[in-house]
Chains A and B, each alone.
Chain A
Amino acid sequence: MRTQSAIVTTGTAERRSPARGAHAGADQPGRLRTRGQALAARIGRLSLLHLLCIVVAVGVFGAPLIYILLVSFNTETGLLGNAWGWPSHFTFANYSAAWVQGDFFREILNSVLYAAVTDAVSLVLGVFLAFPVSRGYLRRSNLWYAFFIFSGFLPPALIPLFIEARWLHIYNNRLGYMLILSLQGAGFFFFVGYIKGIPREREEAAAIDGCSYIRFVFTILMREMKPALAAFAVFGFVGTWNLLILPIILLPKTSLFPVTRGLYSFFGSYQSNEPEIAAATIIVSLPLLVVFLVLQRYLVQGVAGGAMGVGMDKREGQT
């Protein structure tokens, strides 16, 4: 089908080609100019392109963050006079006030704990689940795979999860929250495809050398899977860090709040103090901005390469 459409395209193009040719000739005054002028024109066009890109990247996608940063250094009265956020005099008072009132230090520690533990456990479990399924070491491995995929479309589990957590006495409980998040089976889809690309000789050779299954998974397989594991580690960490609904439902106690949940409450309580909210927003986004800056290239490429299969926010959408 595609070749056919390509032929059709070239056909019409050929018919139009004389006109196009004439047009193209008129479009190329470069030959009449000196090489320097052509280069200057090219640089001009290029910098215009860069200008457009900067306007889009910084002006549209960076602007909200920049605005918040400016407001966070402003005072309440200073903000009323000018909506563009530029502070009349810089103050750090909002940060210290937000830091104390929001209890963000404890919340950041909570978030780090939740995200790191969940990430590590679900990564290991994901490998142990994905390896036999991917290799077909189970009877009807494909059926298992189809079943896991299908289950992603079932009704959201939010309400029964809440009932279940209370029933199991893991409601309002740090360990319980991490248990629930770790065991939801994230990672599986990330790994199945990747393992298929690892040659089977690896485990055959290891088995002949007398390597045990568990040792094989932890040493040889995981080393082979490094790029996939790293990608999952980053996305999993960011994903757990950013959860909002689940902590609202499962962790009502303030001392257990992860930092996103904390910011959500903070906004409700200090609504009329915009500079302080801005400072709190910066505090909360800072850890992830640092992660992003360090791993930026990796994150963006991870999406480009691996995203054709799995969406980023699958878990939050599902539960």
Chain B
Amino acid sequence: MPVSANTMPFGSGALRRWIPLLSISLPLLGWLIFSFGPSAATIFYSLTQYSGEPGTPLNFSGLHNYVQAFSTLLPELRSTIVVTLKFTIGVTVIQNVIGLLLALLLNRRLRAFAVYRAFVFLPQVLSVAVVASMFLLIFNPLTGPAEVIYHWVTGSSSSFFGSSRQALALVVLVNVWMYAGFTMMVYIAGFRNIPGDVYEAAAVDGCGRWRTFTGITWPLLAPATTVNVWLAAMGTLGQFQLILALTGGAENTQTIGMYMYSTAFGTSSQLGYGSMIAVLQFFLTLILGGLLLFLLRRREVQL
């Protein structure tokens, strides 16, 4: 693509050069004010002790928040990052395994399968608020059916989302339940991009089902896997709406996004410190995203 612009056929003379700029001016301005600007401003606010109370000063404090995060408040930050990684890796792995299994099961052209797929796809259309209240009722320790099953299997009772040992796993499960349909659809799109004659060749060579899958389907599915792993990991890393609605960040479910939210908008309202956590989240995204991109690319080349 050349640096100079293609000529726009509309208008004449000077207007011709201005039309493209006028066209993008309003959306660009809006994006600068409400998207890019605030994102960049996070870095600025992370250098202050701003409390957010109207009329209070910014209290510029340099790197004080960062120093504090890595010294006195390090244990808090460390456990947050551990929870974030557990949450992200858990969702990414489980969602991809389940999404792939669902795709294998439901990728058929019969009409009935379109209905099954619709069921699997449905949850992500529902709001997080709806999904959360559904699962809080199901996992209600007193009246929920999950309690009956749990009691029947283990012989003991559990407080589920109120249990510091199980809450995170349950949040992962709900997250997977909600978005597995999306992962499935991307895998199905990937299946349908594989040319049919490859399978014919495999059938002629007498490949069994398992060999066909490991030898042909899985490697040729690499682009879909890349998209799915990338979207799941990047989408989950900063996600906290489901956590907010299910546990509020209690019971060892405080991910970095949740930590940012509760620091800024919880009882203490420390917008400066919260912004610092947002910047740390940005670096975490950068590191994990870079690593993933490197691994996924290398994997695609190897396959």
Contacts and interface: CB of A to CB of B under 8 A. Distances in A.
A136 B97 CA distance: 41
A256 to B, nearest CB: 16
B241 A62 contact: no
B160 interface: no
The residue among A8, A179, A304, A318 with the most chain B CB atoms within 10 A of its own CB is A304
Given A67-B145, A83-B143, A129-B24, A13 B189 contact: no
A304 B116 contact: no
A305 interface: yes
A291 B125 contact: yes
B9 to A, nearest CB: 4
Contacts of B126: 242, 285, 288-289
Contacts of A203: 9-10
A9 B207 contact: yes
A16 B45 CA distance: 65
A57 B120 contact: yes
Contacts of A227: none
A288 B125 contact: yes
A296 B119 CA distance: 10
B130 A184 contact: no
Interface stretch (B32-40, B64-72, B75-83, B163-171): B32-40
Contacts of A10: 201-202, 205, 207
B181 A61 contact: yes
Contacts of A238: 125
Contacts of A128: 23-24, 26-27
Given A159-B264, A216-B10, A292-B122, A154 B36 contact: yes
Tell me whether chain B's interface is mostly helix, strand or loop, or mixed. helix
Contacts of B201: 6, 10
Contact of B134 (A68, A204, A304): A68
Interface stretch (A32-40, A88-96, A160-168): A160-168
B252 interface: no
B138 A288 contact: no
Interface in B16-64: 19-21, 23-24, 26-31, 33-45, 50, 52, 54
Given A64-B138, A151-B35, A284 B1 contact: no
Interface string A237-261: 0100110110011000000000011
A8 B44 CA distance: 56
Contacts of B172: none
B105 interface: yes
Given A183-B33, A245-B261, A133 B24 contact: yes
B235 A139 contact: no
A155 B143 contact: no
A159 B275 contact: yes
A68 B20 contact: no
Tell me whether chain A's interface is mostly helix, strand or loop, or mixed. helix
Contacts, number: 354
B102 interface: yes
B182 A138 contact: no
A71 B39 CA distance: 43
A208 B11 CA distance: 10
B238 A57 contact: no
A289 B118 CA distance: 12
B8 interface: yes
B186 interface: yes
A281 interface: yes
Nearest to B9: A207
A20 B137 CA distance: 52
A131 B224 CA distance: 28
B148 A139 contact: no
Given A140-B3, A212-B10, A274-B137, A20 B189 contact: no
B185 A158 contact: no
Given A153-B282, A212-B10, A281 B38 contact: no
Contacts of A156: 39, 42, 238, 257, 260, 278, 281-282
Nearest to A138: B20
Nearest to B40: A154
Contact of A151 (B36, B42, B285): B36
A136 B147 contact: no
A299 B114 CA distance: 12
A180 interface: yes
Interface in B138-163: 138, 140, 142-145, 147-148
B223 to A, nearest CB: 8
6 closest residue pairs by CB, A with B: A183-B30, A157-B38, A9-B215, A207-B9, A154-B39, A57-B119
10 contacts: A8-B215, A57-B115, A84-B148, A129-B27, A154-B282, A264-B132, A304-B185, A307-B189, A308-B223, A317-B239
